[in-house]
Structure 1
Amino acid sequence: MVSRRLIVLPALLAALPLPLAAQTSPPTLQYETLPAPLPTPIAPQPALPPAAQPLPKLSDAQADFLREWLAEGAEQGLTSGTMAKPVSLKGDALARAALDRASALHRGRIDTADFLEVWALRPEAYDPLPGFAAAVKDDRLRQWANGLTPRYAGYEGLRKGLAAYERIRDEGGWKAVTAKSADADVRARLRVEDSTVTDGEPLTDAVQRAQRRYGLEPTGQLGPRTVAALNVPVGDRIAAIMANMERWRWLPRDLPVNRVQVNIAAAVLTLFEGDQPVTSMRAVTGSPGNETPMLVSNIHSIVVNPPWNVPSSIAKRELWPKGRAALAAQGYKIVKTPGGGERIVQPAGPNSALGRLKFDFDNPFAVYLHDTPARAKFSSYDRLASHGCVRLEKPVPLAELMVQADPALNGQVQTLIDTGKTQRVQLPKQVAVYLLYWTAFASGNSTMNFRDDPYGWDKLLASKIDASTRRAQAVVTASKE
């Protein structure tokens, strides 16, 4: 099981955590079978202006500003913070360095050719030259530069967090602790990241705050996972912040203010209204090896009481080895395909792996959001366990929010489920959905939060950022006058 607007009523938001009451008379709906979604084509990204293209001439004051601005790359997570400062540039070489930095800030440091296939969230095309030329002509380079970075609170929180953790690194980082470390040593370690730690408070309270920041069960005890999180090197935390800043730069300059957003790494779905998170629910996302892809799409329909057409990869690996008799005993059906082959189908019902609701959106990975009869995982702090799709803790309230604009559907989701019939409900308005991989983010009080990097994408992306930056610096240096 491995692409925009949503109007949210306050009353429904208040009721989201609660089950919705069943209604008595379902509307008449037409069930239709849609073809499998086709892969979304990825447009090639434009390169920077060719070397032969004339560039605007800079005044001495403009050149001085650009050199200072280029030296601030570490503040935006574009270099490791330990790389050499930009060399003294002038003329076209300086202009090209500025254009490269502008492109990196506006659409990301790495080229889309370096993206993994499952990093399907592609930045919008951007040509920095027209804006740069106009800023030089009007002598507004500072305003131009300030407008290049993402204007999201999430990005700004990471930028501040990056500065804080680079200060921690420059001051020597933190000392490792063990489960047997003295209380004073544990407090000292916790205080490096949490200035509110005091000598008078119970140590368990301070440990619980740290565990919540790391997405761990807040037991207050120094178990193996808590010790491991505390002992992650500060350099790795910096790399995670850099990687997540880069992912913010891949997003469009304006997100739909009403949207569904899934943090894959944290296995949490959040509903946004007016660009503010208004409610969230636990989810189950892809296990390592069955990664949930990063992507953006639009939920166009909901399948009520969906059957599960088992993907061939899952069937081959997990089901066919059980044998036909065992599959039949578990309620699976073996269906002939037009080419003479066979596929496995799990009929709709209370035991279907898709539960009672499936939220469909076009994407080349055949992933979707869905209900599940396996509820125990939602109480766990380890919820990366799916084949790539996103299982939802509270699918019925979410579905009600999506169909409420249609009087024939408003309040009818549970009634439709109770019929036992498979029906596809077209949404009155498509709903933006973002599957994102956030392993570092700042809370409202600017406290940095971290999650494990289950797919190993953070370090890989951080290395790609450094490599891309070094290549760009080499090109600019080679073009010096």
Structure 2
Amino acid sequence: MAASPAAAQFRLIPAAKPQQAKPQAQPPAATPTPTPPPAAPAAQPPQAVPTPPIQPRQVIPLPVLSSRQMAELRQLLPEAGLAQGLRRMTSTVSLPNDSDGLVRAALDYARAVHSGRLDSSDFINDWGLRPAAFDPLPGFADAVKRDRIAAWVRSLPPPYAGYDGLEKGLVAYRAILTAGGWPKLTPGPDLGKGASGARVRALRKRLAVEDKQVATSGDTFDQDLQDAVLRAQRRYGLRPTGVVSTGTLAALNVPVEARVRQIMANMERWRWLPQELPAKRIQVNIAAAVMTVFEGDSPIASMKAVTGRPGNETPMLQSRIHSIVLNPPWNVPSGIAAKELWPKGEGYLKAHGYRIIGTGPDRRLQQESGPRSALGRFKFDFDNPYAVYLHDTPVQSGFNSYSRLDSHGCVRLEKPGPLAELLLKNDPNWQPDAIAAQLEGTKTVRVRLADADQVAVYLLYWTAFASSDGTMNFRDDPYGWDKLLADKIEARAAVSAATAS
């Protein structure tokens, strides 16, 4: 299988070889002497090695703000907290009047915008990403000393174009909210080219709120309006038909308040990522069911994926792909076996390549490797507590759907072959011909990637993101995580405000 041109651009840079320790010098051979050596001195008791004193942890005192710096913070903090999506537009901010109180409010803001507003107790099990610990006091104390508080505030948000796009989108959609939002479209027959009337006029007005190319006048569904519908369907991840049917109508009728909170939730998820992502990485957008290969902050290749259906959610996590299994068997999880396979009987199981391992309550199912295996021909392994992985599938029809949340939690890939070749390109034993030859049979082989070739993998839940031209894109919130996260952000913001005041 030849790698796709897009995937082939993803180059793995070998890590530098570790420095080897110098060999210890051997003592020179003793020169024979006719006289016996002098008697060895009496053994001395070993000298105790003095233990270095424990250095006390340096405690940085809270800096003392000048009156001008206090005034500066009182202006900066409310504006920054609103711009970074840490509170609702309608929420009020009551800041302390004393220096220590303002310093603590600034440190609270810094932790929230740098590492997330949530407390560790707010995370649910499937939110496997956790922000790194962050102590803002040293940086803030230095900023106060050098009188560069505004620059310090600007340096705190995540340093990624994806976050910047959401920040701009938040401004735009809050402006729409302030202006009154958008009208709700009434249900009715599908609207397509040639239609006319009041519903078409309402559609034009609705689309024009987000799309400045749309003319608001006219009650005929012409080519320009069809093009606008196509753009909207792509923004919302819908099949671009140019016809306003039930799905498109539902997406257009999501209130602008919900879109604002959706942006806020996605900004928070960016804060859970490390401040520096690996230059070479694989990201899966769970909500959009897309896998993307990144080089730096730029996507260089992507493919469709199938992710977990609601009830079998694909977790958010970060790890490293360390192995590729060729011709993997499927060790069926007990829950799936009990609900979906055991009830079908042994005849079905045998016909579909399953074998029963063990007896009694400990028995389990394994599907043999080969073309019928639910894992297909490739499995990409990475350590995680959820027992999920990326894999192939013999059923390709699922990739034709625009709604591709249909797995038990693992991630199925549309084109796993090129990805495997990409990850193994530096292994002389597993070039494309060798991989193809192995796949002709059914023997299972686990190929361990060299340390330098292991690639970071991120499973992320992005339901709002900006395209390169700044246009906001939205996806459904199939797991309900956006609303849950926005609620938690606002609840924590309220607690923080009450503590500061």
| TM value normalised by structure 1 | 0.87
More moved, 379-388 vs 313-322: 313-322
What is the one-letter code of the residue matched to 1:14? Answer: P
- Which consecutive residues of structure 1, in runs of 5 or more, have no partner in the other structure? 1-10, 18-51
Correspondent of 1:350 among 368, 371, 374: 371
1:446 and 2:446 matched: no
Correspondent of 1:172 among 162, 167, 180: 180
Distance in 1 of aligned mates of 2:326 and 2:110 = 47
More moved, 77-86 vs 437-446: 77-86
Distance in 2 of aligned mates of 1:326 and 1:14 = 41
Are the aligned partners of 1:215 and 1:450 in contact in 2 as well (CA < 8 Å)?
Answer: yes
Name the CA shift for 1:417/1:15 in 2 (closer, same or farther; >3 Å): farther
Counterpart residue number, 2:192: none
Counterpart residue number, 1:288: 310
- Name the SS for the 1:202 alignment partner: helix
Name the CA shift for 1:79/1:417 in 2 (closer, same or farther; >3 Å): same
Are the aligned partners of 1:13 and 1:278 in contact in 2 as well (CA < 8 Å)?
Answer: no
Per-residue deviation, residues 85-117 of structure 1 (Å, max 9, x unmatched): 334532211111000000001100111210011
Distance in 1 of aligned mates of 2:130 and 2:96 = 33
1:69 and 2:39 matched: no
Distance in 2 of aligned mates of 1:326 and 1:417 = 26
Distance in 1 of aligned mates of 2:288 and 2:138 = 40
What is the one-letter code of the residue matched to 1:319? Answer: L
Alignment of 1:18-417 (within 5 A): 54-72=61-79, 73-87=81-95, 89-178=97-186, 180=188, 182-198=199-215, 201-336=223-358, 341-411=362-432, 412-417=434-439
- Name the SS for the 2:446 alignment partner: strand
Distance in 1 of aligned mates of 2:356 and 2:390 = 25
What is the one-letter code of the residue matched to 1:260? Answer: I
Per-residue deviation, residues 355-401 of structure 1 (Å, max 9, x unmatched): 00000000000000000011101000010000000000000001111
Per-residue deviation, residues 257-295 of structure 1 (Å, max 9, x unmatched): 211000000000001123210111000000000000000
Counterpart residue number, 1:3: none
Are the aligned partners of 1:286 and 1:384 in contact in 2 as well (CA < 8 Å)?
Answer: yes
More moved, 194-203 vs 207-216: 194-203
Aligned-residue offset at 1:82: 1.2
Counterpart residue number, 1:8: none
Aligned-residue offset at 1:350: 0.5
Are the aligned partners of 1:271 and 1:277 in contact in 2 as well (CA < 8 Å)?
Answer: yes
Aligned-residue offset at 1:420: 2.3
What is the one-letter code of the residue matched to 2:463? Answer: T
Distance in 1 of aligned mates of 2:97 and 2:207 = 43
User: Identity across aligned pairs (percent)?
Assistant: 59
What is the one-letter code of the residue matched to 1:312? Answer: S
What is the one-letter code of the residue matched to 2:484? Answer: L
Distance in 1 of aligned mates of 2:160 and 2:349 = 49
Distance in 2 of aligned mates of 1:109 and 1:246 = 7
What is the one-letter code of the residue matched to 1:376? Answer: S
Name the CA shift for 1:325/1:12 in 2 (closer, same or farther; >3 Å): closer
- Name the SS for the 1:416 alignment partner: helix
Distance in 2 of aligned mates of 1:245 and 1:97 = 21
More moved, 213-222 vs 85-94: 85-94
Are the aligned partners of 1:256 and 1:275 in contact in 2 as well (CA < 8 Å)?
Answer: no
Per-residue deviation, residues 197-224 of structure 1 (Å, max 9, x unmatched): 2367532111110000000001111110
What is the one-letter code of the residue matched to 1:124? Answer: A
Distance in 2 of aligned mates of 1:176 and 1:15 = 41
- Point out which structure has higher relative CO (alpha carbons under 8 A, 6+ apart): 1
Are the aligned partners of 2:7 and 2:300 in contact in 1 as well (CA < 8 Å)?
Answer: no
Aligned-residue offset at 1:416: 2.1
Are the aligned partners of 2:326 and 2:439 in contact in 1 as well (CA < 8 Å)?
Answer: yes
- Which consecutive residues of structure 2, in runs of 5 or more, have no partner in the other structure? 9-58, 189-197
Distance in 2 of aligned mates of 1:369 and 1:98 = 42
Distance in 2 of aligned mates of 1:476 and 1:328 = 66
Distance in 1 of aligned mates of 2:437 and 2:91 = 61
Distance in 2 of aligned mates of 1:54 and 1:215 = 51
More moved, 397-406 vs 320-329: 320-329
Counterpart residue number, 1:14: 5
- Name the SS for the 2:454 alignment partner: strand
Distance in 1 of aligned mates of 2:248 and 2:292 = 26
Distance in 1 of aligned mates of 2:324 and 2:96 = 58
What is the one-letter code of the residue matched to 1:117? Answer: N
Correspondent of 1:464 among 483, 488, 498: 488
Aligned-residue offset at 1:136: 1.3
Per-residue deviation, residues 457-478 of structure 1 (Å, max 9, x unmatched): 000000100000110111111x
Distance in 1 of aligned mates of 2:488 and 2:132 = 19
Name the CA shift for 1:82/1:413 in 2 (closer, same or farther; >3 Å): farther
- Name the SS for the 1:182 alignment partner: helix
- Name the SS for the 2:449 alignment partner: strand
Per-residue deviation, residues 31-74 of structure 1 (Å, max 9, x unmatched): xxxxxxxxxxxxxxxxxxxxx98411101121111111111111
Q: Which has the larger radius of gyration?
A: 2
What is the one-letter code of the residue matched to 1:224? Answer: T
Distance in 1 of aligned mates of 2:60 and 2:97 = 18
What is the one-letter code of the residue matched to 1:65? Answer: E
Are the aligned partners of 1:78 and 1:242 in contact in 2 as well (CA < 8 Å)?
Answer: yes
User: After TM superposition, where is structure 1 displaced by more than 6 Å over at least 4 residues in a row?
Assistant: none
Are the aligned partners of 1:119 and 1:293 in contact in 2 as well (CA < 8 Å)?
Answer: yes
Paired residues in the alignment total 432
RMSD: 1.7
Correspondent of 2:443 among 421, 431, 434: 421
Distance in 1 of aligned mates of 2:112 and 2:133 = 12
- Name the SS for the 2:339 alignment partner: helix
Aligned-residue offset at 1:15: 5.7
Aligned-residue offset at 1:16: 4.1
- Name the SS for the 1:71 alignment partner: helix
